[in-house]
Amino acid sequence: MDILRIVNVGVGGQGNLLASNLLGMAALDSKVPVVVSEIHGMAQRGGVVESAVILGGAESPIVSQAEADILVSFEPIEALRTLNKANKNTLVITNTRPMPPFTVAIGQAEYPDPEVSVAALAKKVKNLMAFDGQALAEEAKNPLALNMVMLGALFGKATLPIGVPSIKKMIKQNTKERFVDSNLLAFDLGFKAAKG
């Protein structure tokens, strides 16, 4: 089995760690060797959150510079910030809905136009999927389900050694009961968006 290094990046509160954890559980359920790692830091206070899921038998829990096979970003400028983990063959999937940091909100810094960010990404990697994932979460009537949309897009776009039924089983078993339906819908919307 080929080793697949997936990096998830986002902002505190976007559910990035849950996405990695669900992917890890689905891998275990599918008998795919897996290690997951996460940096919590002071994420709760609006900082950047990064996690990694490594499938296929590598033992190292982290992904080095230029070595991510897939980079999933929940926020457009965080995709750019984490681009040092990518190389030209990395599949980059990014949500395009901005979540400006407070430095921008209070006028201390400028937030690049998402179109500019997407164009910059497209210049660096061959394989890019940029879409408004937040809109799909809202369509699923669950604005907090961006993580499910991004997981759906990952499953739709990448060739993974894990089947869709397995990740759906984990979503059903490990997310709050009243959100399960909207989470699954959000996953499907992300999946369809990836299949185009």
Partner 1 sequence: MDKLLTQSGGATHLLLGNEAIVRGALEAGMAFATCYPGTPSSEVPDTLYRLRKQNPDQVKYYFEYSTNEKVALECAAGAAVAGLRTLCTMKHVGLNVAADPLMTLAYTGVNAGLVVLTADDPSMFSSQNEQDNRYYARLSGLPMLEAKGPAELKEMTKYAFDLSEELKSPVLLRTTTRVNHAREGVTYAKLPKVKQTSVFKKSPMDFVTVPAVSRKKHLRLLEIYDKSQAISEASEYNKVTGRGSYGIITTAVCKNYVRDALKDLGALNQIKVLNLGFTWPLPEKKMARFLKSVEKVLVVEELEPLLEDAVRSICQKKGIATEIAGKSAKFPEVTVDVAPPKFFSRAFEYNPRLVRQVVGKTFGLKAKFTTPLKLDDLPVLPGRPPNLCAGCPHRATYYAVKEVVGKDGIHPTDIGCYTLGLLPPIQMADFLVCMGSSVSSAGGFARATDKKVVSFIGDSTFFHSGMTGLVNAVHNNLNFTLVILDNGTTAMTGHQPHPGVDTEAIGDATTHIDIEQVVRGLGVEHVTTIKPLKTKAAIKAIEEAVNHEGVSVVISKELCPLFAKRVVPRTRKPFEVKVDKCKGHMDCINKIACPAMYVEKGQAKINAGQCVGCALCAQICPENAILPVKEA
The nearest distance, CB 29 to partner 1, in angstroms, is 9
Query: C-beta of 125: minimal distance to partner 1 in Å?
Result: 8
Q: Are the beta carbons of 8 and 19 closer than 8 angstroms? A: yes
Q: Closest distance between partner 1 and the C-beta of residue 148, in Å?
A: 18
11 vs 185, which CB is nearer to partner 1?
Answer: 11
Task: Please name the helix (run of DSSP H) or strand (run of DSSP E) that holds residue 170, with its range, or none.
Answer: helix 164-174
d(CA 22, CA 16): 10
Closer to partner 1 by CB, 92 or 186: give it.
92
Nearest approach, Cβ of residue 165 and partner 1 (Å): 18
CA distance 157 to 138: 21
Min. distance of Cβ 133 from partner 1 in angstroms? 18
Which is closer to partner 1, CB of 112 or CB of 161?
Answer: 112
Residues that bind partner 1 (CB under 8 A): 11-12, 21, 24-25, 28, 34-48, 58-67, 77-78, 80-81, 83-84, 86-89, 100-112, 116-117, 120, 124-125
φ/ψ of residue 128, rounded to 5: -130, 135
Given the complex with partner 1, which of 17 and 149 has the nearer CB atom? 17
Output the furthest CA–CA distance in the chain (Å, rounded).
Answer: 49
Instruction: Collapse the DSSP code of 55 into the 3-class scheme (helix H, G, I; strand E, B; otherwise coil) and give the result.
Output: strand
Please name the residue that has the structure tokens 């038998």: 57
Nearer to partner 1, 77 or 185 (CB): 77
What SS3 class is residue 131? strand
Specify which residues 54 forms β-bridges with: 5, 35
